[in-house]
Structure 1
Amino acid sequence: MGFQEKFEQNKVVDAIFTKNMQFFELLSPDVYAEFKSYEPQNLTLAFDESEHINIINRKTGRFVYPERPEQYADKQVDKFLRDTKASVIRFYNPHVVDTQYLHHEMMDSLVELRGDASMPEFFAQDEQLIQQLFIVGIGSGLHIKALLEQKALNNVVIIENNKDSFYLSMYFVDWESIFRAVKGQLKIIIGDTEKEILDNLHQYTYEVGNYVFTKMFVYRHYVNSTLDTLLENFFKKLLAPSAAAGFYDDEKVGLAHTVENCQRNIPPSTVGLLQRKIHCQLPAVVIGNGPSLDGSEHFLRANKDKMILISCGSSLSALEGMGIKPDIHVEQERPYDTYRWLIKSTTESFRQGIYFYGLNTVHPDCFSLFDADKTGQCLKPNDLGSIYLSRSIKKGHTLSFADGSNPTVTNFGLSLCVLLGMKNVFLAGVDLGMKEIDKHHSEKSYYAKAKDESPNIFKFIEATDDKFKIKGRDGKELYTNAAFNSSKLNIERLIDKYGLNVKNLSDGAEIRGAAFESNDYIVKEVAGKDKIKTLQALHEMVFSSEGVLPESKDKVKSKVIIEAEGLFSQLREILKLTVENEEQLVNRLSEIRNSFWQTKLDGYTAMLFKGSIETMLSAVYSVVLYGGVENYSENFAKSCQIVNRFLDQVEEDMKHNLYNLDTYCNL
């Protein structure tokens, strides 16, 4: 190729780049500002051996594409369409217990409607419209252009952690044309850090709804282990139990318990000490009830006087069995079951003198089992009860949330450390994984006896439907599930966010930022620190009822009922419509979601229903997909009947039971 031909190629790519910059200047000024004078670090443009413009890695001297980039893109797209199957989220009912929650009844009915039908395989080449596509890697971007020439795409997320790549793509493809070709939302995530990318993914989830992930395709343009792991963790979090997202009965109970806890004058958390740079000098140990807790008994016994012991959930019974009394005990679950568990698994004399902290959603009777002057309620983020507390605080007073307190009680234990200013933390029995599926709790806890009394108590934990393997101590593999993995990720986030110094004594999941430590470790004594006085001082600094003036229950109830009636009326009109194919199905689900979010609901009403609405949409999508294309109309109609019944039941329930305390008990 002569000079003139190369000159003409350069003119073409320069023109494309100029057009792209003009486009992004209007669409996204931030992108324009970052890339208008950008200098690539590792990748750049160069003429390859065939004298075509390619991308070359400066460090290795190798071209990214082994042939003309356009040809490579075409071949890769053909292979993607031919070989790639959709990932489909399947809802199932473990049939563990009957909670009598209306949301669970609706979800169980939807799952039963699906029956035992096996999920059909969906290949990309057979899709008329790919509803949700993740593209890992931008490169030249030509594969995106080539794919759009063959397939209609609805919602697309493009993820890239190399800014060089996105910059160079602006010399190859017309991004304005790509944005115009995508029917739904196109989100480009270019992040330097895992947190930045995950935050953008969660924002996208909020914008489009969880239901779009019920059936999705993943296009991997190149091998990127960092992005693959990140996406895998994101997808696993999506698979966590629907309870993690909240639902009608869950939020209703949380509100009722918070109202009652306020009436019983349980002081809320008002400040977060680590956020205010106030540090507790004594180290803490967060104690879970994993099977490795038994191996940490020696460590706890040897160091208990030099650190603050925080028992989480059922680990309290194991500690009583060991004869080791914690300084603090925490609970996070709403059900009455938690109260019954505490009574049956521990003695009154053992509980005396222990500080007890629960999330605001915890059953009020749990607080009554501990010394009244040593209790407090911590605000759960993204929660209806916390909205109530926030609106019940006088001007000039503050409240502090228990950041990262879900999904497991050990998450709350670490979150409490942040509130109490404890930066140096050990983890004991925080396994979040199992070497054997039927060995998931300490042998010294009440669970051994409880299993004999209630054989179904472990069915959900031992179910294999959502199990997968992760790395543990010494690289050994463990079984875990979506909830435990989500717990691990939240612990990692807290460690990173607050700069915690964490040592992991557990023989469980590998937790980033928490190096494994031997149980023979000896904790150094902090001179001049009296543990009893320290605990009292921390309690008085963080927890106070001063300035709490509870909002009128009747006023809240009236507002919620009126708004719910209007919302349900809109939803019932949409549920009357028919569906003949997947595109219509997705449109109906989108209409339902838009009706919910575009109705300007008060925070109480929105929080009460958003979890059930979002989860229901995903379940309906899944159920209709299982039924096959010939049954779209029938399955959607049957699903709508189930949803309508749920709306009818909720309307009656709100009128009569909005402030009823929880009664569910599995013991």
Structure 2
Amino acid sequence: MSLRFIHELKRATAKKRMKMLFEMQEKNFNYLKPRNIDLANTIKHVGTGDFRVSITPDFLEISHIPSKALCHPDDGLYKYISELGYWHHTGWVDKLKVLHEIPIGIEHGQRVMSLAEKLHAMFPAIHQRMLAGTISLPRLADGRRFSGSTVFLGTFIGLHILQYLQTTEIRDIVIVEPDITRFSLSCFFVDYAEIEKRFGRLVLHVGADMPENPQSLLIDHSPITSTVWLRLLPAYPSDDFNNLIQRFELHWRGLSEVFVPYDREVRNLCYGARNLKNKTPINNQSPTLSDNSRIAIVASGPSLDKEMPWLKANQDKLIIFAAHSAVRALKRNGIRPDFQCSLDTELDPELLDKLELDPDIPFISYYKANPDSLKRFKTVLLVNESGKANPVHFKRPLIYTHPTTGNLMVATAAFAKPKTLYLVGLDLGFHQTSEQDHVKDYWAYQSEENTENPAEKPDLTQKEGILPAAANFPESEGKIYTQAYHNIARRSVEGQISLLNSSIKIFNLSDGVKIAGTEPCHSETLELSNYPEKNKDLALFQAAFTGEKADVWELYKTAGEQVLVTLRESLYQAMNAKKFDWLKFAQSLDSAWTSALTSCLQKEFGDLRVEAYSKLITDLLVAWYRIIIFTETPKETEQVYRQGLEVLLAVLNELEWPTELKTFEMEFSTESPENLSVTE
């Protein structure tokens, strides 16, 4: 059996066809048995379910037994699957960005624009095709097409999947079938073991409740090619598919809509080095708080307004971590947080004034914050992160501090290890009735000119990229919306919670998105007892931060300059090929950054300094890929590949390791400067 099963069925005699179908089912049973015994037994038990497979003189017929209706047009199953599995028709849902999305006014955007403009000047005809949106799947020398990552929504019979695989070279696929009966039917036709062999893995989900894994496994495996073009093909009409398309779109949008420019990342590294040099206290060992310890994470989502009375009444019974964006609203409601928190690294004086932060309340900040903005506060407590670019190696790092201040607060609370944690205003989205996506007293709303009639305010749910999400409270189901940035934040919160192993009881009071691992809870049902140990716990928490270097951080042995050398060499090795091949090129694009990062980690374990350049590299690769998919001939494709590689290397050669970080490395090195590990 093979992926050419359609043609094998077509050539076989009528008697042989039925035997081939049962052999295929048996093969799939044996394939699934060691992977998911329940699913394997189900396909054996269900068989074709409510569907009848009939052998015809020329091929097959599939009919629905209860309705006695054919499951395909009258002109035949073969023609139907040939059309459904064709690379171009109106049934395809293409998430496609044909034009460059380059941030302007910053160095990050200038470098990406430099690559794009040079290639556009070399190949003006391609640029005109891009502007016109004239695009098709690239044609291979053997007549097939090349397709990026593809999601098959519904297997049903499954022959359309085989048709597409026969006529198209695909970067990667995911198969999702909510209906177990339809999947069981497909097991008579689709060789799932062969699909796994072709792609090196099989990402398959069967059943109504799809977890995060399929979206993540697909998009994380093809981050460059999927950014430009992600394909989804529903096999039949279903409301389930509308939801699945939205969920894939959230992940897809996250590839391009959520990022920090590389020049800011590098600047943040310098800020972090300065704060370490200044001995500003940073997280060290977790404290041991009382058995009565409680922390409330207060973010600035719209639902915070409703919780103000509860917070005010219980502020002495909680340790309150307040997002910098929520402090103003809390103060206006008579609530004084115990800590003000911010992930932002650049808070200028004007913004600090608008936020109305209190200099007397301790300020918990990401350690890469501009030291000048921290001078306003009497007490500053810094928080580090292991999975980011750091100028030094932290011995006790936190994780899951990004991408929002809410994430930083949850990570810091996990470090504090209270017995109970309350999430307030951590909506990570908004209710469909909301007129804003922040609390009412959010500073930005107060500075806007109030010239609109309330009825004329834009519907937040209609904004591009705003999609439905599962709700925290059952009564809000179908009424909660989110976007890519908040979706990434939710996944990060859930990642942090998954590490706690239920050691902290977590109540989610927010009328926003559902957060796995938390218990939905309305504040009016909570009655808190007194918290006499609060002051002692506050002191223990602050004592868990230190400005001393010992046991907290150490310098990397490899000089930062060497990190960039390794980056350039690795990217060149990953992308350089003697002969262009679409699939190999796409695979190299998608794995180039991982290869570069791995090379750096092999030099020194845990060294993620190169991560500061990750978004720049991925944006350069995306721009290159976006141009090359508009080529129309193998010769043109080869030319854009060769020229693109040269331009990419030229941009990479312009990157420099900051002088401030070189100085920092020299100052704290235990070796003499000439012994630092660097290769020219």
Aligning the two structures, in what range does the TM-score lie when normalised by the shorter sequence? 0.7 to 0.9
1:40: how far off? 1.2
**Given that residues 169 and 583 in structure 2 are in contact (C-alpha distance below 8 angstroms), is that contact kept between their aligned partners in structure 1?**
no
CA distance change for structure 1 residues 215 and 21 in 2, over 3 Å: closer, same or farther?
A: same
Q: Deviations over 1:476-496 (max 9, x none)?
A: 757653213333444456567
Q: Does 1:173 align with 2:183?
A: no
CA distance in 1, matches of 2:283, 2:497: 21
Secondary structure (helix, strand or coil) at the match of 1:212 reads: helix
**Given that residues 432 and 487 in structure 1 are in contact (C-alpha distance below 8 angstroms), is that contact kept between their aligned partners in structure 2?**
no
**Given that residues 504 and 514 in structure 1 are in contact (C-alpha distance below 8 angstroms), is that contact kept between their aligned partners in structure 2?**
no
CA distance change for structure 1 residues 171 and 441 in 2, over 3 Å: closer, same or farther?
A: closer
Higher mean displacement: 138-147 or 437-446: 437-446
List aligned pairs for 1:117-266, cutoff 5 A: 117=131, 119-120=133-134, 122=136, 128-160=145-177, 169-175=186-192, 177-178=194-195, 187-190=202-205, 197-199=211-213, 201-222=215-236, 229-230=243-244, 232-240=246-254, 242=256, 244=258, 248-266=262-280
CA distance in 2, matches of 1:121, 1:85: 15
**Given that residues 269 and 543 in structure 1 are in contact (C-alpha distance below 8 angstroms), is that contact kept between their aligned partners in structure 2?**
yes
Unaligned runs of 5+ in 2: 1-12, 121-126, 450-458, 665-680
Match of 1:482 among 476, 481, 484: 484
Q: What residue is the counterpart of 2:46 in the other structure?
A: 43
Match of 2:399 among 394, 399, 402: 402
Cα root mean square deviation, aligned:
5.1
CA distance change for structure 1 residues 55 and 358 in 2, over 3 Å: closer, same or farther?
A: farther
Q: What residue is the counterpart of 1:503 in the other structure?
A: 508
CA distance in 1, matches of 2:116, 2:173: 28
List aligned pairs for 1:370-409, cutoff 5 A: 370-372=377-379, 375-385=380-390, 388-390=392-394, 393=395, 399-403=396-400, 405-409=401-405
Q: What residue is the counterpart of 1:298 in the other structure?
A: 309
Q: What residue is the counterpart of 1:315 in the other structure?
A: 326
1:565: how far off? 5.0
Secondary structure (helix, strand or coil) at the match of 1:86 reads: strand
Secondary structure (helix, strand or coil) at the match of 2:42 reads: coil
CA distance in 2, matches of 1:533, 1:248: 42
Q: Deviations over 1:343-393 (max 9, x none)?
A: 55336xx331x3332233333445444344xx43333252012x8333xx3
**Given that residues 268 and 543 in structure 1 are in contact (C-alpha distance below 8 angstroms), is that contact kept between their aligned partners in structure 2?**
yes
Q: What residue is the counterpart of 2:535 in the other structure?
A: 532
Q: What residue is the counterpart of 2:95 in the other structure?
A: 87
Match of 2:614 among 585, 610, 617: 610
Q: Deviations over 1:46-93 (max 9, x none)?
A: 696565699999xx9899984799965752451353322532136665
1:326: how far off? 0.5
1:425: how far off? 0.9
1:135: how far off? 1.4
Q: What residue is the counterpart of 2:363 in the other structure?
A: 356
Give the TM-score normalised by structure 2.
Answer: 0.71
Secondary structure (helix, strand or coil) at the match of 1:236 reads: helix
Letter in 2 for 1:219: L
CA distance in 2, matches of 1:343, 1:612: 33
CA distance in 1, matches of 2:132, 2:405: 35
Q: Deviations over 1:212-245 (max 9, x none)?
A: 3421221223566567535532431331374845
CA distance change for structure 1 residues 494 and 589 in 2, over 3 Å: closer, same or farther?
A: closer
Secondary structure (helix, strand or coil) at the match of 1:529 reads: coil
Letter in 1 for 2:317: K
Letter in 2 for 1:428: G
Secondary structure (helix, strand or coil) at the match of 1:502 reads: strand
CA distance change for structure 1 residues 209 and 345 in 2, over 3 Å: closer, same or farther?
A: closer
CA distance in 2, matches of 1:266, 1:172: 64
1:39: how far off? 1.8
Q: Does 1:16 align with 2:14?
A: no
CA distance change for structure 1 residues 68 and 540 in 2, over 3 Å: closer, same or farther?
A: farther
Q: What residue is the counterpart of 1:417 in the other structure?
A: 413
1:284: how far off? 3.4
Letter in 2 for 1:649: E
Q: Deviations over 1:12-63 (max 9, x none)?
A: 44533555577x5xxxxx9646449942177334696565699999xx9899
CA distance in 1, matches of 2:294, 2:310: 14
Q: What residue is the counterpart of 1:458 in the other structure?
A: none
**Given that residues 284 and 424 in structure 1 are in contact (C-alpha distance below 8 angstroms), is that contact kept between their aligned partners in structure 2?**
yes
Q: Deviations over 1:149-198 (max 9, x none)?
A: 44443422223467787676554334455456x5x666333477968x53
Q: Deviations over 1:136-157 (max 9, x none)?
A: 2344533322333444434222
Q: What residue is the counterpart of 2:554 in the other structure?
A: 551
CA distance in 2, matches of 1:341, 1:597: 36
List aligned pairs for 1:330-349, cutoff 5 A: 330-334=341-345, 336-337=346-347, 341-342=351-352, 345-346=355-356
Question: By percentage of residues, which structure has more helix?
Answer: 1
CA distance in 2, matches of 1:593, 1:70: 49
Q: What is the percent sequence identity of the aligned residues?
A: 14
CA distance in 1, matches of 2:466, 2:531: 47
Letter in 2 for 1:468: I
CA distance change for structure 1 residues 490 and 228 in 2, over 3 Å: closer, same or farther?
A: farther
**Given that residues 223 and 255 in structure 2 are in contact (C-alpha distance below 8 angstroms), is that contact kept between their aligned partners in structure 1?**
no
CA distance change for structure 1 residues 46 and 633 in 2, over 3 Å: closer, same or farther?
A: closer
CA distance in 2, matches of 1:70, 1:173: 22
CA distance in 2, matches of 1:594, 1:241: 15
1:327: how far off? 0.9
Higher mean displacement: 598-607 or 132-141: 598-607
